[in-house]
Amino acid sequence: MDSTITAASGTAPLRVAVIIGSSRDGRFAPAVGDWFLARAARRADVAPVTVDIAATELPHAFGAPADALTGTRETLGDADAFVVVTPEYNHSYPGTLKNFIDLHNAEWQAKPVGFVSYGGISGGLRATEHLRTVFAELHAVTVRDTVSFHNPWGQRDEAGALIAGAGADTAATTLLDQLVWWGEALRTARTARPYGGR
């Protein structure tokens, strides 16, 4: 079966910022992020870009100088949709990810957000559920279906790439299908009428 999905006629690919939400030393997040990005790259209706929190030098408080956030604000502002790759720490998501989200505001509004999570027996799903409430407050729409990896740490090949089965591929396709639907609909709506959020 051909897994390549083409963009609708005359429709620009959806600009998707894939946010790598862990900054810990020895983190597993890049392996999960690379796996997802490879699936997104198969589609002509998606144009992914990576935003790695560990590679940014963000302040740790509100009221930061505007130039400290210029790069990430531009990238997030240009995006039509987001996918957050998150581990689960203590039944929730990392504090560095919360800081990153909180330092931005209008960039999230009237755009869809999908989630790829990993963790222990829960597969990071508790982190995802906590993130849904945060993004609702930021006037974003979260898509229903997610990708989750349960105890994935031993599932890497000799090069360090994540090894995942057909079920994960199917879940990624479903997530991206929903993200594209919402992303295209909301992009059209924002073009026709500016969003009236705070």
* pLDDT for res 149: 97
Question: Is 50 exceeded by the pLDDT of residue 1?
Answer: no
User: 130 lies in a domain?
Assistant: yes
Which percentage of the chain shows pLDDT scores above 90?
84
Q: Please report which confidence band the pLDDT of residue 2 belongs to, taking 50, 70 and 90 as the band edges.
A: very low
**What's the pLDDT score for residue 58?**
79
**Up-side HSE of residue 11: CA atoms within 13 Å toward CB?**
20
Is 43 domain-assigned? Answer: yes
Distance CA 130, CA 109 (A): 18
Token pair in block for residue 106: 């209008």
Helix axes 125-137, 95-102, angle to 10 degrees: 20
Each residue of 47-69: pLDDT tens digit? 999 999 999 887 766 655 667 68
User: Is 61 inside a domain boundary?
Assistant: yes
Q: In which residue are the tokens 């982190």 written? A: 127
Q: DSSP assignment of 27-39, as one string? A: -SHHHHHHHHHHH
How big is the chain, counted in residues?
Answer: 198
Please provide the average confidence, as pLDDT, over all residues in the chain: 92
**CA dist 101 to 42, 96, 159, Å?**
28, 9, 31
pLDDT in tens, 85-112: 999 999 999 999 999 999 999 999 999 9
Task: Assess contact for 80 and 183: CB atoms under 8 A.
Answer: yes
- Domain containing 185 equals 14-154+162-191
Judge whether 2 lies within some domain.
no
Supply the pLDDT for residue 3.
Answer: 45
- Indicate if the pLDDT at residue 73 is higher than 70: yes
CATH of the domain at 39: 3.40.50.360
Has residue 198 been placed in a domain? Answer: no
The pLDDT of residue 10 is 61
Give the model's pLDDT for residue 7: 60
How many other CB atoms are found less than 10 A from the CB of residue 60? 9
* 196 confidence band (pLDDT: 50, 70, 90): confident
**Does a structural domain hold residue 88?**
yes
CA dist., res. 39 & res. 196, Å (int): 34
Q: What is the pLDDT of residues 130-183, one digit of tens each?
A: 999 999 999 999 999 999 999 999 999 999 999 999 999 999 999 999 999 999
Q: Does residue 56 belong to any structural domain of this protein?
A: yes
Quick one: pLDDT at residue 42? 96
Domain total of the chain: 1
Residue 21 in 3-state DSSP?
Answer: coil
Q: Is residue 7 part of a domain?
A: no
Non-local CB neighbours of 129 within 8 Å, separated by 6+ positions: none
Sign of CA dihedral 184, 189, 192, 195: negative
